[in-house]
Amino acid sequence: MIAVTERTWPPFGHPALVIHVAAILLAGSQWLLCRSGQRSRATVDLIDAGGLIGSMALYCALVFAESIAREHAIAVHSAGAEILLVAVILLALILTHAIIVPATVPRALALSLACGALGTLTAYVLTAEVFPSEVLLGKPWLPLAEATYLAMWSGLGVTVAMIAARVIHGLKQRVWDANKVGQYTLEDRIGEGGMGIVYLARHALLRRATAVKLLHPGRAGETALRRFEQEARITSTLTHPSTIAIFDFGRTPEGVFYYAMEYLDGVTLADLIAHDGAQKPARVVQILRQVCGSLDEAHSAALIHRDIKPANLMLCVRGLIPDQVKVLDFGLVKAGGEHVGTGLSAEGALLGTPAYLAPEAILDSAGVDATVDLYALGAVGYELLVGQPVFEGNTIVEVSLHHLQSEPVPPSLRSSQPIPLALEQLVLRCLAKDPAQRPASAGEMMASLDQLVEVGSWTIDDARSWWRDRAPSIRREVLDRRRGESTPGPRTVAIDLDRRH
């Protein structure tokens, strides 16, 4: 408090008092906005940034208003005390914000630099406008010197804020990792997709390796929750050997949705292509055939996957049999007859992955049928044969326009290996712009694959040799790449049976 006497307390119309009240009201409005109903992560981040930068701007204005007032002229002219006050306010705001509000290091850096820039600008303008002209004539470098003084304090504040953000954000992530989700011990993070984070886990009693998927902490809106629960519920009804098996699902006491599924110690087709490039036609046929089996069961149940892509298809060894394919991630699945709204997700993105989207899925995802999965599977087959996607572009729009307007170059013209004509024609048929020209069903496509005779050979011995010679190095490289995302364990978790569906 400044004082309570009439002589020292500024009148109610004083600019400094008005600005100070405005800063308090700004903080109060932030609190009310965050307390009144649910807000998206982006909205909360915007409110937070506006409050911090707005408060710094108001307090800089307050210092400026006080410095030009007659009662403060002597202090400013003699020692520049108000500039020191700006430095104190700057440090107090950015350090308090970094400690109280968890943020990523890039976000903390951006907000701290914005506040530091306001403080530095205030010091320069304050010196240039308030200090006596005779002082500035003798020391023309004074405004720049004062601004540099503030910039040095800003650098200190930014550095400390980044360190605090890194420590606090890391602790927040560890707390999140320790959430209780079933009778499982989470050991390592093994993957992250658009909907959730996947951990390697072990059941407390069965001791078997399990993969536990948790809804992404930054995407906990109702739409995401419904999709996440739908993914677990629908996938659990499918029993084809090439569809990943769901063991359990539910919600934790804190309301975090999760499900447990079989752990697959394998290689995704995305990693396979990235490390080994184009595959032999015979192996491609075997892979596509297994995926067709999984999709045939899903389509027979009026379920459309809508996100078939190399990253959602895993190659593994099951029951000592190599090159077994598993279809993953039914998070965008659409039940036949179900209304799914527009072609946009809650975050405003196309449903699916642009490199594998059928033209009709780009134009109107609400009206798609099972042939969109066959289009995507054709794109996967093309990439397996060539080692490159069907269409490439610098933006999502460019790739989407290719799917809508461009005819794919035949794989044989882009591949260094011979590709049987019948296989090439089948892949291009899947990539037809008109859904009616594609295979009528996954079962029909599987039958067409069975009829291919000039594709060469890929025997079980070939597959075992690959898994012995190539798979370990690929998996090691993939694990090394993801190691930075892993979190230390183990952590034991529990289930809330009353909240299971």
SS3 106: helix
- Mean pLDDT for 454-464 is 92
Question: For residues 246 and 263, is the Cβ–Cβ distance under 8 A?
Answer: no
Write down the catalytic residue from 177, 271, 296, 307: 307
Higher-pLDDT residue of 489 and 303 is: 303
Coil, helix or strand at residue 416:
coil
Structure tokens at 109: 């850096």
Please report where in the chains the tokens 């690959």 appear, as a residue. 466
Top pLDDT among 172 and 332 is at 172
Rounded Cα gap, residues 274 and 165, in angstroms: 35
Contacts of 98 (CB under 8 A, 6+ apart): 108, 112, 160, 161, 162, 164, 165, 168
Averaged pLDDT for residues 315-330: 90
Those residues with Cβ within 8 angstroms of residue 377's Cβ, 6 or more apart along the chain or in another chain: 288, 291, 292, 295, 308, 430, 442, 445
Sign of the dihedral defined by the CA atoms of residues 329, 335, 336, 340, in that order: negative
Mean pLDDT is lowest, of 96-100, 316-320, 335-339, 442-446, for: 335-339
pLDDT at residue number 315: 96
**Is the overall model pTM greater than 0.75, yes or no?**
no
How far, in Å, CA of 418 to CA of 281, rounded?
9
pLDDT at 192: 73
- CA 111 from centroid of its chain's CA atoms: 21
Q: Where are the domains of the chain?
A: 15-177, 179-263+486-501, 266-469
Q: Phi first, then psi: give them for residue 325, nearest 5 degrees.
A: -100, 140
- Within its chain, how far is the Cα of 134 from the centroid? 57
d(CA 152, CA 156): 6
C-beta of residue 359 within 8 angstroms of C-beta of residue 431? no
The answer to whether residue 119 scores a pLDDT higher than 50 is yes
CATH topology of domain 266-469: Transferase(Phosphotransferase); domain 1 (1.10.510)
Say if residue 1's pLDDT is above 80. Answer: no
d(CA 379, CA 430): 8
Say yes or no to pLDDT of 402 above 90. yes
- Which carries the bigger pLDDT value, residue 107 or residue 12? 107
Give yes or no for residue 72 having a pLDDT over 50.
Answer: no
Q: Which two tokens stand for residue 119?
A: 């403080």
Regarding predicted confidence, which is higher, 98 or 388?
Answer: 388
CATH tag, 179-263+486-501: 3.30.200.20
Render the burial of 151-189: b for 16+ CB within 10 Å, e for the rest.
bebbebbbebbbebbeebbeeeeeeebebbbbbbbbbbb
pLDDT of amino acid 77: 47
Highest mean predicted confidence (pLDDT) among 67-81, 168-182, 201-215, 408-422:
408-422
Q: What pLDDT does residue 368 have?
A: 83
pLDDT at residue 136, as a whole number? 64
Segment of 130-134, 199-203, 375-379 carrying the highest mean pLDDT: 375-379
Name the band, by pLDDT with cuts 50, 70 and 90, for residue 494. very low
Burial class (CB in 10 A: 0-12, 13-18, 19+), 435: middle
Place of tokens 């009144």: 36
CB 463 within 8 A of CB 322: yes
Give pLDDT, residue 420: 95
Cα(388)–Cα(394) distance, integer angstroms = 15
Judged against a pLDDT cut of 80, whether residue 36 lies above it is answered with no
Average confidence (pLDDT) over 95-117: 76
Which residue did the predictor score with more confidence, 27 or 324?
Answer: 324
Q: Is the pLDDT of residue 439 over 90?
A: yes
278: left (phi over 0), alpha (psi -120 to 50) or beta: beta
Helices (H) and strands (E) in the chain, counts: 18, 11
Q: What is the pLDDT of residues 419-432, one digit of tens each?
A: 999 999 999 999 99
**SS3 of 192, please?**
strand
Q: Sheet with 267-268: list strands edge to edge.
A: 267-268, 313-318, 321-327
d(CA 482, CA 480): 5
- Give the separation between CA 287 and CA 314, rounded to whole angstroms: 10
pLDDT at res. 168:
72
* pLDDT (0 to 100) of residue 403: 94
Cβ atoms within 10 Å of 443's Cβ, excluding its own: 16
How high is the pLDDT of residue 80?
58
Q: Which of 245-250's residues contact partners 24+ apart within 8 Å by CB, and which partners?
A: 247/210, 248/182, 249/500, 249/501, 250/182, 250/495, 250/496, 250/497, 250/499, 250/500, 250/501
Q: Specify the length of the chain in residues.
A: 501
Residue 138 vs residue 46, higher pLDDT: 46
Q: What residue spans of 218-265 are helical by DSSP H?
A: 222-235
What pLDDT, on the 0 to 100 scale, is given for residue 41? 67
Higher pLDDT, 128 or 464: 464
- Categorize the per-residue pLDDT at 470 as very low, low, confident or very high, splitting at 50, 70 and 90: very high
Name the pLDDT band for 70 (thresholds 50, 70, 90): very low
| Sequence-ordered alpha helix ranges (H) in 316-455 | 359-363, 371-386, 396-405, 411-414, 421-430, 442-450
More confident residue, 320 or 342: 320
**Mean pLDDT, range 80-98, rounded to an integer:** 69
Contact (CB, 8 A) for 121 and 64: no
pLDDT grade, residue 20 (50/70/90)?
low
- Residue 276 bears catalytic tag: no
Q: What is the mean pLDDT of residues 178-194?
A: 68
Dihedrals phi, psi of 337, to nearest 5 degrees: 85, -5
**Strand ranges (E), 26-112:** none
